[in-house]
Amino acid sequence: MSAFVVLGAQWGDEGKGKMTDYLAESADVVVRFQGGNNAGHTVEVGEQQYKLHLIPSGILYEDKLNVIGNGVVIDPKAFFEEIDYLKGLGVKVSPKNLIVSDRAQLIMPYHKILDALKEKSRGKNDIGTTGKGIGPCYTDKAERSGIRMCDLMHTDVFKEKLQENIKAKNEIITKVFNGDNLSFDDIYKEFLVYADRIKPFVKDISVEVFNSIKAGKKVLFEGAQGTLLDIDYGTYPYVTSSNTIAGGVSTGAGIGPTLISSALGIAKAYTTRVGKGPFPTELLDETGELIRDKGHEYGVTTGRARRCGWLDLVILKTSARLSGLTSFAVTKIDTLAGIEKLKVCVGYEFEGQVIDYFPASLEDLAKCKPVFEEFNGWDDSVAEARSYDELPENAKKYLKRIEEFTDTKISIISVGPRRDQTIVVSNI
Ligand code: GDP
Ligand code: IMO
Ligand code: MG
């Protein structure tokens, strides 16, 4: 029995897409369990680059089953755009290799409008969301007014729920935000087309995933975003609206926690974040710019420049604890090549003490001063390494410190974006 989780250990964009694609080769099923098309997962195979947002990164293999879980919020328009994009690149996508949960919540046009209006109303306190309607959709889910995939499969139910929602949302849009009324007819017509097209993909995915695990198949759960964007344990309110930590798998795919055997945390060799919010090791100087340029640190979903900073081991230790990580995959050590002296944060100075956990309050976090250790750098030859032994000695020292501080082993090292630029150190 084998079910394992791949998730982001920082603020997202750690290389989950690349690692999921790499590991999917030996898996049978790949499952997304939270988030939506706010995610942007890049996979490079040879010269071809694929950008995935909603569809699991196992889709590039014809013989894998890809599953979009109930914890995911689905924008049907984005779903079909992504399928068309993949088909345009020669990827086969059909209900044979992709299924979608009947319990997943739908991102409706008003969620995207409300996402933008809310952000605008927050003024300088905006979150810097991706604008995909994620927050408003999860809000409706928690408020119990959301529309689910199974509702879309029943035209009469869908019609009634849409009527109620349009009425309620128009009140908010026009009276609170001074915006324009939405037309029920336009949205209803648009969604009837989606309903027909999506029907063959819709399943009770908990049953499918459970049966796969019981049948001895390998199931990989692909996280989106990262630990510090988690709605409970992230840098709230500068977070996304779902549980990005391993616990999210159980609720987001309907699988008991005892069935999950391991959790791989993907960690970039430095830290990035896109959008607003605290970032203790952020580099607002030319080193930060150098990392951004060399690492092509621009958002896959929004194109925004990612903020860059030194590796923060307090974050990785926190991530290992919250998700019970069994190992790390460290990516992009090639991006750091050429920097003579590297800094790594090994604690925060807070009220006269050094702490190694992430405080809840942003006011306390603002008082935290990173404590750094310095490491000697390595050169570009690192991108050519195909085994641990071939890595420069300084890179090995850097990686050893990560293992030591987090008390978690590194099972995979990534030295470039392509599948072949991957070093497996030990079994995950
Ligand atoms: P995700 O959201 O976690 O899947 O990550 P993104 O795809 O948003 O961002 C990671 C970026 O780094 C992508 O452009 C990947 O192709 C790239 N990448 C992944 N691993 C490596 C690596 O080891 N080295 C380099 N140079 N790029 C990598
Ligand atoms: P992947 O899966 C990085 C960030 C946004 C914003 C905050 C809330 O590619 O790692 P939202 O639209 O979710 O309400 O935005 O979360 N964010 C991400 N940052 N990688 C992502 O996904 C992200 N998905 C959301 O920038 O700060
Ligand atoms: Mg990304």
Low-confidence ranges of the chain (pLDDT < 70): 1
φ, ψ (nearest 5 deg) of residue 21: -60, -45
- End-to-end CA gap in the chain: 14
Atom of ligand 2 nearest to the CA of 130: 12
Distance 185 CA to ligand 1 centre (A): 42
Nearest to 52 by CA among 64, 40, 62, 60: 40
Distance 274 CA to ligand 3 centre (A): 10
The reply to whether 133 and 96 lie within a common domain is: no
Rounded Cα distance between 30 and 97, Å, is: 10
Assigned token pair, 20:
């999921």
Domain of 72: which CATH number?
3.40.440.10
Domain of 400: which CATH number?
3.90.170.10
The reply to whether 16 and 87 lie within a common domain is: yes
Atom of ligand 1 nearest to the CA of 39: 2
pLDDT of residue 427: 86
Q: Is the CB of 135 under 6 A from ligand 2?
A: yes
Q: Is the CB of 43 under 6 A from ligand 2?
A: no
Give one DSSP letter per residue of 359-378, joined into a string: -S-HHHHHH-EEEEEEEE--
Looking at the CA of 297, which ligand is closest? 1
Distance 18 CA to ligand 1 centre (A): 6
Atom of ligand 2 nearest to the CA of 131: 12
* Residue ID of nearest Cα to ligand 2 atom 20: 12
Residues acting as catalytic residues: 13, 41
Looking at the CA of 20, which ligand is closest? 1
Distance 12 CA to ligand 2 centre (A): 7
Q: Specify the 3-state DSSP secondary structure of 294.
A: helix
Atom of ligand 1 nearest to the CA of 331: 23
Rounded Cα distance between 104 and 36, Å, is: 10
Looking at the CA of 11, which ligand is closest? 2
The whole-angstrom distance between residue 14's C-alpha and the CA centroid of its chain comes to 9
Planar angle of CA 239, 327, 230, nearest 5 degrees:
10
The reply to whether 152 and 281 lie within a common domain is: no
The reply to whether 150 and 214 lie within a common domain is: no
Cis, peptide link before residue 56, omega less than 30° from 0: no
Atom of ligand 1 nearest to the CA of 224: 2
Give me the domain span that covers residue 34.
Answer: 2-101+202-262
* Residue ID of nearest Cα to ligand 1 atom 10: 15
pLDDT of residue 301: 87
CA distances from 219 to 9, 60, 203, 222, 422 (A): 20, 16, 17, 10, 21
Distance 69 CA to ligand 2 centre (A): 18
The reply to whether 336 and 410 lie within a common domain is: yes
Q: Is the CB of 268 under 6 A from ligand 1?
A: no
The reply to whether 136 and 124 lie within a common domain is: yes
Contacts of 337 (CB under 8 A, 6+ apart): 377, 378, 379, 380, 381, 382, 383
Q: Is the CB of 322 under 6 A from ligand 2?
A: no
Q: Is the CB of 224 under 6 A from ligand 2?
A: yes
Distance 266 CA to ligand 1 centre (A): 10
pLDDT of residue 199: 98
Rounded Cα distance between 107 and 136, Å, is: 8
What does DSSP say about strands 65-68 and 29-32: parallel, antiparallel, or unpaired? parallel
Q: Is the CB of 225 under 6 A from ligand 2?
A: yes
The reply to whether 18 and 65 lie within a common domain is: yes
The reply to whether 46 and 62 lie within a common domain is: yes
> Based on the structure, what is the number of domains in the chain?
3
Assigned token pair, 389:
């032994």
Assigned token pair, 112:
């995207």
* pTM of this structure: 0.98
pLDDT of residue 335: 98
Q: Is the CB of 40 under 6 A from ligand 1?
A: yes
CA distances from 223 to 111, 268, 382 (A): 22, 15, 27
Distance 384 CA to ligand 1 centre (A): 17
Q: Is the CB of 306 under 6 A from ligand 1?
A: no
The reply to whether 271 and 406 lie within a common domain is: yes
pLDDT of residue 412: 98
Among 228, 262, 296, the domain-final residue is 262
Q: Is the CB of 30 under 6 A from ligand 1?
A: no
Kindly list the protein residues that place their beta carbon closer than 5 angstroms to ligand 3, a single-atom ion.
13, 40, 300
Domain of 179: which CATH number?
1.10.300.10
Atom of ligand 2 nearest to the CA of 229: 16
Rounded Cα distance between 103 and 178, Å, is: 33
Q: Is the CB of 417 under 6 A from ligand 1?
A: yes
The reply to whether 248 and 364 lie within a common domain is: no
The reply to whether 246 and 271 lie within a common domain is: no
CA distances from 205 to 66, 183, 306, 333 (A): 10, 33, 34, 37
Helices 313-323 and 393-406 pack at an angle, to 10 degrees, of: 50
The reply to whether 92 and 144 lie within a common domain is: no
Among 262, 287, 302, the domain-final residue is 262
Rounded Cα distance between 153 and 100, Å, is: 12
What does DSSP say about strands 262-268 and 307-309: parallel, antiparallel, or unpaired? unpaired
Assigned token pair, 119:
């952000």
